[in-house]
Amino acid sequence: MAVQEYIRDRFFPQMWCEGCGHGTILNSLLRAIEDLGISKSDIVMTSGIGCSARISGYVDFHSLHTMHGRALACATGVKMAKPELNVIVPMGDGDALAIGGNHFIHACRRNIDMTAIVMNNRIYGMTGGQYSPLSGVGTMATTAPYSSIDNAFDVVKLAEAAGATFVARTTTYHVAEAVTYLKKAIQHKGFSVVEIMSQCPTYYGRKNKKGSAVNMLEWFKEITGKLGSKELEDNPSLIARGIFVDEDKPEYCSEYNKIIERASKR
C-alpha span between 84 and 249 (Å, rounded): 18
pLDDT of residue 42: 96
Judge whether residue 88 has pLDDT over 70: yes
**Ordered strands of the 166-171 beta sheet:** 62-65, 43-47, 86-91, 114-120, 191-197, 166-171, 239-246, 224-226
* pLDDT per residue as tens digits for the range 94-118: 899 999 999 999 999 999 999 999 9
Average pLDDT, the chain: 94
Domain boundaries, the chain: 16-264
Q: Are 110 and 252 in contact (CB under 8 A)?
A: yes
Q: How confident is the model at residue 26 (pLDDT cuts 50, 70, 90)?
A: very high
What number does CATH give the domain 16-264?
3.40.50.970
pLDDT of residue 266: 76
Judge whether residue 181 has pLDDT over 80: yes
pLDDT of residue 127: 87
Judge whether residue 71 has pLDDT over 80: yes
* pLDDT per residue as tens digits for the range 120-150: 999 998 888 899 999 999 999 999 999 999 9
- Radius of gyration, CA atoms only, the chain: 18
Which of 80, 48, 52, 50 minimizes the C-alpha distance to 64? 48
* pLDDT per residue as tens digits for the range 60-69: 999 999 999 9
In the predicted model, what is the mean pLDDT of residues 167-192?
A: 98
In the predicted model, what is the mean pLDDT of residues 9-16?
A: 81
Q: What percent of the chain has pLDDT over 70?
A: 99
pLDDT of residue 1: 61
pLDDT of residue 3: 75
C-alpha span between 99 and 83 (Å, rounded): 26
In the predicted model, what is the mean pLDDT of residues 152-172?
A: 97
